[in-house]
Chains A and B, each alone.
Chain A
Amino acid sequence: MLELIVISTLNGILFGMLLFLMASGLTVIFSMLGVLNFAHASFYMLGAFFGFQISRWLGFWPALVIAPLLAGAIGAGVERFGLRRVHKNGHVAELLFTFGLAFVIEEVVQIIWGKSPVDFRVPPLLDFPAFTIFSTNYPAYKMFMLLVSIVIFAGLLIVLKKTRIGLIVQAALTHPHMVGHLGHNVGRIFMLVFGVGTALAAVAGVIAGPALVTQSNMAGLLGPILFVVVVVGGLGSLPGAFVASLLIGLVQTFAVSMNGSLAGAFGPLSPDYASTWLADIWGVTIAQIAPIMPYLLLVLILIFRPMGLLGTRDT
């Protein structure tokens, strides 16, 4: 039992940090541009596939640097030549633009790399068990993922709190017009933030690619969870996104490792209706409903705290 708790906590924090790598970019982009980038998970996927391709040509370590830069450049281009054009048509048009973009990116990835998973392997340097805990080997690569996410998280925090550009970004989060009035090139800041945000998603993609499955549907699988994170945390709230990322990471990881069901808990009662179509609800295990846990959490949050955990503003 203790083994399960320790391993699940580690995995949960790892998944949560990965989610936060993406959610942080998404939140900052949303706060500044007012548009929720529907294609954010697609940049995560692009990062994974670029990482896979570059690691074939040059090795994993160059890929870890080049792939996010590449994805970030594409992201900046999307903001400069796509979103800025659509901006005059309102937020719905912007959201729809990124929705169409997500659709196109998935199609392009399918055309180039196919529909089946690609063979993106953990680099040999990290392919060993980091430590053994209660007879379970914990892979070093997962520790590396955790390390990278924490380093980036810390770097992001320092940049936001201690540097000039961070101050401007923070100001633009709440008062974008005022920042413009003060003479900053808001357009360039937007492009930069969009590029950095998508690059962060791509970093998550590169480091998650070898551990999870690198496939053309990975954006579609992760995207909705990502949006749940930002809504649960409170749209536009960075601390909220952090809390929600960890929460959802932990909830989902713990749910996967649990096997209880209503039938297991109240088995001896065995009511008659347990044999009708309600049998599904009766017999389903917690592990089986793990994929819908984030969405259940979303509905609960909406009922009891519509603004999100740490959200303050309505959009």
Chain B
Amino acid sequence: MSEIASHIAPPLPAAADKLKFYGLWVAAAAALLLLPQIFTSGGSLTTFSLIGISIIFSLSYNILLGQTGMLSFGHAVYYGLGGFLAIHAINIITANKLPIPLPLVPLIGGLTGLLFAALLGWVSTKRSGTAFAMISLGVAELIASSALILRTFFGGEAGISANRTKLLKLFGWSFGPQIQIYYLVAAWTLIAVIAMYALTRTPLGRMCNAVRDNPERVQFVGYNPHTVRYLAFCFSGFFAGIAGALAAINFEIANSAYLGAVQSGTVLFATYIGGVGFFIGPIVGAIFVTFLSLGLSDLTPVWQLYFGLIFIAVVVFAPGGITGLLMMHRPLLKAGTLTQMLPSYLIALVPTLAMIAGLILSIETTVHYTVNPGDDSHIKAFGVSFDAASPYIWAMAAILLIGGFFVARKTWTWVGHAWDGVTSVAREKGIAA
């Protein structure tokens, strides 16, 4: 018996692997502790808090999309309800002077998310695939519209607010200053990330992957795919609720925008751009998208258009997301052939950048003529000033866009050939791509 077991069970990890694994988590914790020492400004602390919240939310979303293969257009429902309940909880705790400190409030949010996921999930997860996507959209619209009808509970358009500083104080922390909120978010982020990683290693996590890949076979093995989807949905709702509660604590307000389609869309963008195929993908996506939305909105008024275009570009050209792109290169790195790719990448990069520059120029020029036609034609976008009325700029935009497109298409075929050569070398060395 033991012989068979030793064949089936994976070998115990070596001490070095264990060290690497736990070292990674300790390093992550240390980095979270040290970040505010390096970037001390209030603005960066707010950004870090937003990123932490976004990481939890995106990872919870990836339990659905990446691990169980359910594309949801309404994940913000559980985020938003978690946020609303957290605000109500803070108000009730303050009013009744209950001995519950603020760090436990996200748990209330999480349980709310869990409760509603358990309620709505059974119906939603009856179908998978496209039907599930549409159902999640319908349920999200139902909740978001109801939030505007049930004014006493959801506060209508204005939302409801709370004061986070009036709760039971632990170790003299009032949670007034942003730095304390940052540490609260960081601690919850770490806990949630570890919990969600652990979830992927459980039998349930593995069954989720099986349901994603082949639900029919899951039935043959004796599991009900509906139940597995439902459980994944509940866990996902729980962590989304935690993220929502943290967001509500951070802003001290919850309004109907928390539940809305924009929020659901943002988490989908972040998760997919980061990459759904790897656990770390949504983390990368959350960081990238938060910086992108903060940074782009300073640079150009139509940043949402660029945001959408980036998303489409990722869907078309890099379905694995950022992490998928990076991970593609791991076998090459191991085989030591990565340097051979660099020249063709550099060659392809030039026309691609030219094309993007041309696209940006044309968009910004168009925006000048349609959004504010009466203004001065010397406009500034992405830190570069140019005259939108000048025909030279139009010609340049056209040449860059069209010329760049054709040259880029050519060079990317070369990249494809180089890639084939390099991966076959790696495969000959026995490294699976």
Contact = CB atoms under 8 A, between A and B. Distances in A.
> SS class of chain A's interface: helix, strand, loop or mixed?
helix
Contact of A302 (B135, B268, B302, B319): B135
A103 B69 CA distance: 22
Interface stretch (A149-157, A170-178, A197-205, A277-285): A277-285
Interface stretch (B137-145, B240-248, B278-286, B289-297): B137-145
B308 A104 contact: yes
Interface in A89-111: 89, 91-93, 95-97, 99-101, 103-104, 107-108, 111
Chain A contact-residue range equals 35 or more
Interface in A227-268: 227-228, 230-231, 235
Contact of A111 (B130, B139, B371): B371
Contacts of B309: 104
A291 B316 contact: no
Contact of A303 (B123, B307, B371): B123
Contact of B129 (A91, A100, A277, A303): A91
A36 B308 contact: no
B304 A284 contact: no
A82 interface: yes
B311 A36 contact: no
Interface in B366-382: 366-367, 370-371
Interface stretch (B150-158, B230-238, B328-336): B150-158
B134 A97 contact: no
Interface in B255-305: 261, 265, 268, 272, 302, 304-305
B347 interface: no
A230 B65 CA distance: 22
Interface string B186-197: 000000000000
B265 A96 contact: no
A296 B149 CA distance: 14
B22 to A, nearest CB: 34
Contact of B130 (A228, A235, A276, A306): A235
B315 A96 contact: yes
Interface string A68-89: 0000000000000010011001
Given A92-B69, A92-B71, A299 B127 contact: no
B305 A107 contact: yes
A1 B319 CA distance: 57
A103 B315 CA distance: 14
A289 interface: yes
Nearest to B310: A100
B135 A298 contact: yes
Given A111-B371, A280-B149, A95 B142 contact: no
A58 interface: no
A185 interface: no
B38 to A, nearest CB: 35
B75 to A, nearest CB: 13
A272 interface: no
A49 B248 CA distance: 38
A30 interface: yes
Contacts of A302: 123-124, 126-127, 135
B33 interface: no
Contacts, number: 129
A275 to B, nearest CB: 10
A111 B362 CA distance: 13
Interface residues of B, number: 46
B150 A230 contact: no
B135 A107 contact: no
A71 B145 CA distance: 30
Given A104-B305, A235-B131, A288-B149, A82 B366 contact: no
Contact of A36 (B69, B130, B151): B130
A224 interface: yes
B315 A100 contact: yes
A227 B315 contact: no
A111 B367 contact: yes
Query: Which of A30, A231, A284, A289 is the most central at the interface, judged by chain B CB atoms within 10 Å of its CB?
Result: A231
Nearest to A101: B312
Interface in A11-37: 30, 35-36
B146 interface: yes
Contacts of A100: 308, 311-312, 315
A292 B142 CA distance: 6
Interface string B66-83: 000101010000000000
Given A108-B305, A306-B127, A93 B315 contact: yes
Given A104-B309, A107-B304, A315 B149 contact: no
Contacts of A299: 123, 138-139, 142
B316 A295 contact: no
Contacts of A280: 149-153
Contacts of A227: 134, 137-138
Interface string B141-178: 11001100111110000000000000000000000000
A36 B131 CA distance: 9
Interface string B115-135: 000000001101111110111
Nearest to B145: A292
Given A104-B312, A315-B131, A228 B138 contact: yes
A220 interface: yes
A301 B376 CA distance: 56
A103 B309 CA distance: 9
Query: Which of A230, A276, A314 is the most central at the interface, judged by chain B CB atoms within 10 Å of its CB?
Result: A314
A112 interface: yes
Contacts of A96: 71, 268, 272, 311, 315
Query: Which of A30, A224, A291, A298 is the most central at the interface, judged by chain B CB atoms within 10 Å of its CB?
Result: A224
A82 B371 CA distance: 28
Nearest to A225: B141
B272 A231 contact: no
A92 B268 CA distance: 12
A289 B129 contact: no
Nearest to A278: B152
Contacts of B127: 302, 306, 314-315
Given A82-B316, A281-B150, 11 more contacts: A36-B130, A96-B272, A97-B316, A100-B308, A103-B307, A108-B305, A111-B305, A112-B366, A231-B131, A231-B135, A295-B142
- 4 residue pairs, one from A and one from B, having the closest CB atoms: A295-B142, A104-B308, A277-B152, A107-B305
27 contacts: A36-B130, A82-B316, A86-B316, A91-B129, A92-B65, A92-B69, A95-B133, A100-B312, A101-B312, A103-B311, A104-B305, A107-B304, A107-B305, A111-B302, A111-B367, A228-B138, A231-B131, A280-B151, A281-B150, A288-B149, A289-B149, A292-B149, A296-B142, A298-B135, A302-B123, A302-B124, A315-B128
